[in-house]
Amino acid sequence: MEEFNDPKPFIKWAGGKDKLYSQLEQWLPFNITKGDFKNYYEPFLGSGAVFFNLAKKVSFDNVVLSDINEELILVYKVVQRDVSELMELLDQYKNRYSKLSDIDKEKFYYDMRFSYNNQRFNINHKKYSELWISRAAQMVFLNKTCYNGLYRQNMRGEFNVPFGKNYHPSIYDQKNIELVSKLLNRVEIKSSDFSSILDNVLNNSFVYLDPPYRPISKTSNFTDYYKLGFTEKDNNRLMEKLNLLNRQNVKFMLNNSFPLNDEYLKKYYANYSVNLITANRMMSGISSKRGKVSEIVITNY
């Protein structure tokens, strides 16, 4: 894989690691830039910030990027295969939107959200088709104009994030999305629960994991973040898989919010090295509630 200049995430995502990357970088395996790992896996992809940052310096023979959110993965696959068509549609939306009054911009947003939600029944997420391109364009546009770039669905599977009152959004950066498309052309992108990805990790791999955060207070609500949530049971499944990878000598790095008690630390991470970094958590919709919280980085090296 040739080295890529400066690819960046092209969508906003809750828990996105772009700003935190410089802190995370110090916990990567020290020899990662020397070509010591042939394969890279990122099963909680989100905006892909860690992979995009890594790709500036490291090239892997095989890369597998995945996430359980099939609407998110649909967008990645369209960027991978049909980026020009995607940009054309985004230009159309951008031009129409930019000419509207603020009130009409809000209406434009809700009309698009309505259409996006209605279209979901016409999409076969298992089979790539032309329809994916317009769906991806709507998703990117909604992502850049909704509140805080959140992706939240109600129990019926409808995207229900309100208008973000961003009247002059930057929808996409042409150079970047073309660069990302080129980069994605060489990687495997999958919509999947993490377990089947981690069951098929090859030797000589590095795995980066960024699961949804554990609630750090009683009021933090996982279901706000993704309709399926990430439960204690999921965390147990994840730790079982990681213990297995560890036995196979696969190296991994995992992020999570700082556990409040030692019991949790002991239960899950006793065999690994636990490091602390601080993050401005962006999970809460209410800006006054955002603050510095600690975050843990677990490594098995």
Binding residues vs ligand SAM (CB under 6 A): 13, 15-17, 43-44, 46-47, 49-50, 67-69, 193-194, 210-212, 226, 230, 234
The CB-nearest residue to ligand SAM is 46
Nearer to ligand SAM by Cβ, of 15 and 259: the residue is 15
Structure-token match 């909680």, residue found: 44
**Do 73 and 190 meet the contact criterion of CB atoms below 8 Å apart?**
yes
Structure-token match 């700082």, residue found: 258
How far is the C-alpha of 17 from the C-alpha of 3, rounded, in Å? 21
Region of 151 on the Ramachandran plot (φ > 0 left; ψ -120 to 50 alpha; else beta): beta
Nearer to ligand SAM by Cβ, of 49 and 245: the residue is 49
Cβ at position 95, least distance to ligand SAM in Å: 29
Structure-token match 């980085």, residue found: 297
Nearer to ligand SAM by Cβ, of 152 and 251: the residue is 152
Nearer to ligand SAM by Cβ, of 28 and 89: the residue is 28
CA trace torsion 76, 80, 86, 87 (10° rounding): 110
**Do 34 and 57 meet the contact criterion of CB atoms below 8 Å apart?**
no
DSSP-assigned beta bridge partners for residue 299: 253, 273
**Do 295 and 277 meet the contact criterion of CB atoms below 8 Å apart?**
yes
Cβ at position 69, least distance to ligand SAM in Å: 4
Nearer to ligand SAM by Cβ, of 21 and 167: the residue is 21
Cβ at position 193, least distance to ligand SAM in Å: 4
Nearer to ligand SAM by Cβ, of 16 and 164: the residue is 16
**Do 9 and 52 meet the contact criterion of CB atoms below 8 Å apart?**
yes
**Do 285 and 150 meet the contact criterion of CB atoms below 8 Å apart?**
yes
3-state SS assignment for residue 55? helix
The two tokens of residue 133 are: 């391109």
Cβ at position 37, least distance to ligand SAM in Å: 18
Cβ at position 96, least distance to ligand SAM in Å: 29
Cβ at position 143, least distance to ligand SAM in Å: 12
Cβ at position 132, least distance to ligand SAM in Å: 18
Nearer to ligand SAM by Cβ, of 92 and 223: the residue is 223
Amino acid at 201: V
Cβ at position 190, least distance to ligand SAM in Å: 10
DSSP secondary structure, 162-227, as one string = PB---SS-----HHHHHHHHHHHTTSEEEE--HHHHHTTPPSSEEEEE-PPPPPSSTT--GGGT-T
Q: What is the DSSP letter of 159?
A: B
Nearer to ligand SAM by Cβ, of 4 and 226: the residue is 226
